[in-house]
Amino acid sequence: MRHSLPQSHQFYVTAPQPCPYLGGKIERKLFTALHGDAATALNDTLSHQGFRRSQNVVYRPSCAGCSACLSARIVISGFRATRTQRRILRRNERVSRLATNPWATEAQYRLFRRYLDARHATGGMADMDLHEFAAMVEETPVRSRLVEYHLDGELIAVCLTDVLSDGMSMVYSFYDPDLSENSLGTYIILDHVAMARGAGLPYVYLGYWVPGSPKMDYKRRFRPLEVFHEGRWRQLDETDLSGVTAQGIDRTAIGDQVSAIQLPATK
């Protein structure tokens, strides 16, 4: 289905498919394309409304009877590392960071394959080949960085990151599954907090947090955390989420959702 906003901007809806996070539920996404000179402003504006980027599109879940996928971001000004997080930082003191333009390499792909085989062997990316991996990294019409992490000269982690007007958006990360004692997933987020703080950016966007999904629960450990719920950003600890997965409650009609989306001002 296609829906239009003023300015003739087109939004589309994906076909229903099984939800990867909550068993027995059906997923559907609202999305639009990013292209041309307006891509950066559009990605920025829609990211502030709970959308996420994947290559040259931005999307937001739009599932009937469920609103459990909540875009989440860390508030940098209030963030203080926990005792466990400080231990993780000390454990990775010898890790070095290299931020580059988004360009895929065979070394990255080998690490990506090891990560998928160990952590997500049955996931949607399980069959991704080198060319598809390169497209995921390189097809970006916005300001993106590829952040590599090395230990003793070896590539151990990678994160594809968008730079927004108000923060850093972590698009996708992967790491060496054999270094479980390093807690690299947590370390990458902590390092992005440090980068955002150093750049004077107020947020780190973590993607979607899903109440009831064990694979997403780690995001709750980064406080203060805000979630985009009912049209605005709210502190997670102060938000009533009791109805987000309630059955039988229809989401606002797609046309109404599209009408409520704010677009960047035209020049």
Q: Quick one: 141 and 39 in the same domain? A: no
Q: Quick one: 84 and 209 in the same domain? A: yes
Q: Is residue 118 a part of any domain in this protein?
A: yes
Q: Quick one: 101 and 14 in the same domain? A: no
Q: Is the peptide bond before 224 cis (omega within 30 degrees of 0)?
A: yes
Site of tokens 């000390």 = 90
Q: Quick one: 51 and 153 in the same domain? A: no
Q: Quick one: 96 and 10 in the same domain? A: no
**Strands (DSSP E) along 115-245, which ranges?**
144-151, 154-164, 167-175, 203-209, 225-229, 232-235
Q: Domains in the chain: how many in total?
A: 2
Q: Quick one: 222 and 143 in the same domain? A: yes
Terminal CA-CA length for the chain: 29
Q: Quick one: 62 and 80 in the same domain? A: no
Tell me which residue of 150, 181, 185, 149 sits closest to 170, measured CA to CA.
Answer: 185
DSSP state of 21: S
Predicted confidence at residue 249, as pLDDT, reads 54
What are the mean pLDDT values of the chain's consecutive 10-residue runs (267 residues total)? 57 91 89 92 96 96 88 98 98 98 97 91 78 96 97 98 98 97 97 98 96 87 94 90 66 80 82
Q: Quick one: 117 and 211 in the same domain? A: yes
pLDDT digits (tens, 9 = 90+) for 22-48: 888 889 999 999 988 899 999 999 999
Element (H, E) at 60: strand 57-61
Q: Is residue 236 a part of any domain in this protein?
A: no
Q: Quick one: 118 and 62 in the same domain? A: no
Predicted confidence at residue 5, as pLDDT, reads 46
Q: Quick one: 140 and 27 in the same domain? A: no
Tell me which residue of 216, 90, 95 sits closest to 159, measured CA to CA.
Answer: 95
Predicted confidence at residue 251, as pLDDT, reads 62
Q: Is residue 106 a part of any domain in this protein?
A: yes
Q: Is residue 252 a part of any domain in this protein?
A: yes
Q: What is the CATH number of the domain that holds 221?
A: 3.40.630.30
- Cα distance between residue 139 and residue 54, in whole Å: 9
DSSP state of 66: B
Q: Quick one: 115 and 180 in the same domain? A: yes
Q: Is residue 231 a part of any domain in this protein?
A: no
Domain residue limits at 45:
2-69+241-260
